[in-house]
Amino acid sequence: MSTPDIRAVCASALAPVLDGKGSLNALDSALESAGVEGRDRGLAKALCFGVCRTLPRLEALSKILLRQSFKRRDQDVQALLLLGLYQLLYMRVPPHAAVGETAGAARALGKGWATRVLNGCLRRFQRDTQALQAQVDRDPSIALLHPEWMLTRWREAWPDDWRELAEANNQPGPMTLRVNRRHVDRETYLARLRDAGLAADPTPYAPDGVTLHEACDVRALPGFSEGAVSVQDEAAQLTAPLLEPTLATTPGARVLDACSAPGGKTAHLLEAFDLELTALDSDAERLGRVDATLARLGLEATTLTADASRLEWWDGQTFDAVLLDAPCSGTGVIRRHPDIKRLRRPSDIRELAALQARLLDTLWTTLAPGGTLLYATCSVMPEENVDQVAAFLTRTPDASADELDVDWGRPAGAGRQLLPRIEGHDGFFYARLRKVTV
């Protein structure tokens, strides 16, 4: 079997992203289909995620370097140019390899005519790199590697933090683990990591969290296959502590995880409490990931493929707690999903806010009197967070919000907002809502 051309594979995977019709969620499947394995798989991921992370700058440079844009059917060739620029700017790839192998990859795509164009553009960038970078970086949105509309929203919402927010998005997030307290306590697991030569620290806010100094393959983690630990950002791990006042005092509580895939929060709740849990997701394929997660961890839940904004799936029995980790813009986790910079549009925020409102109104029906609904997003947009919860409380007479007495994030209306932090947690919003007797 011939060795796949890594850059050609990456270009093919990036082309749908550049065209706004695909995402990096399909990258693992693309690499597997192409037969990319081992260290080459790590290189391919670094290239694809790196291009998406720095896309505004790379595209601005490519516009200067090209005499005319590539045709839409040649997005893979455009991707090769961006890959070459990324290697020259941000990687330790020898320049001759970044230029020669990237240009040559056009032949593997069946587009040998592009080799000469790519070679010329990349060599010109090598010659004039300082001047070209200075030219494009005059635009603040390019210098900060984000779409202008996104930065404008953040300047309005977070006038003292928007620049730091953008800079945090431009750094890969740390690898954070959640220790399964049914298997081992956090201190004991930290010692197991040290014995395995893996340096790590406890997370400051999540009681089950551990952050590695350097990311590693999960197969190197002690006890991973046996379910002792899972990969989950610290911000996402705050779900269980926020539901603890309800669940720790109600053995066998009926809990609904309404938008459960890929299952990290589902599993954490089952690790931490004695529950009867139902996990919904509208995507059967993604729900399969929930089943796989639970199987690895030796946990059980009822999983249902269903639209949580409708009640056809519900048997009428109310829940003591509902987790609504709502579909959102993902603007708090751009560092883990950098293709959001290309795929998200301003109009999406309004459409997502409307969906979130429908989910809140529908799921409130399933909550028992005195029960708790935890609303969460991985967004930093007020329309999806503080404004969303305020509007819900206004139109829902039997809803009240708990004051969250926590030492993380910042007050945001009836909830708490976390902004992404370099070497720290992702961006997240939480609000804890109670159903009261009117």
Enumerate the active-site residues. Answer: 378
> Could you give the 3-state DSSP secondary structure of residue 183?
coil
> Could you give the 3-state DSSP secondary structure of residue 102?
helix
Residue by residue, DSSP assigns 266-279 as HHHHHHHS-EEEEE
Residue of 30, 11, 14 whose CA lies nearest to 339: 14
Contact present, 339 and 52 (Cβ < 8 Å): yes
Contact present, 269 and 239 (Cβ < 8 Å): yes
> Cα–Cα distances in Å, from 229 out to 45, 269, 317, 430?
23, 14, 33, 24
Strand duo 200-202 + 209-212: pairing: antiparallel
Count the neighbouring beta carbons within 10 Å of the beta carbon of residue 12.
20
What DSSP state is assigned to residue 309?
A: T
What's the CA angle centered on 264, arms 52 and 311, to 5 degrees?
100
Helices 6-18 and 95-108 pack at an angle, to 10 degrees, of 70
φ/ψ of residue 91, rounded to 5: -120, 165
What DSSP state is assigned to residue 173?
A: P
φ/ψ of residue 156, rounded to 5: -70, -40
Quote the CA–CA distance of 14 and 54 in Å, as a whole number: 13
What DSSP state is assigned to residue 24?
A: G
Helices within 223-297 (DSSP H only):
239-247, 264-272, 284-297
> Is it true that the peptide bond before 262 is cis, omega within 30 degrees of 0?
yes
Residue of 402, 406, 405, 332 whose CA lies nearest to 373: 402
> Could you give the 3-state DSSP secondary structure of residue 189?
helix
> Could you give the 3-state DSSP secondary structure of residue 238?
helix
Quote the CA–CA distance of 293 and 93 in Å, as a whole number: 36
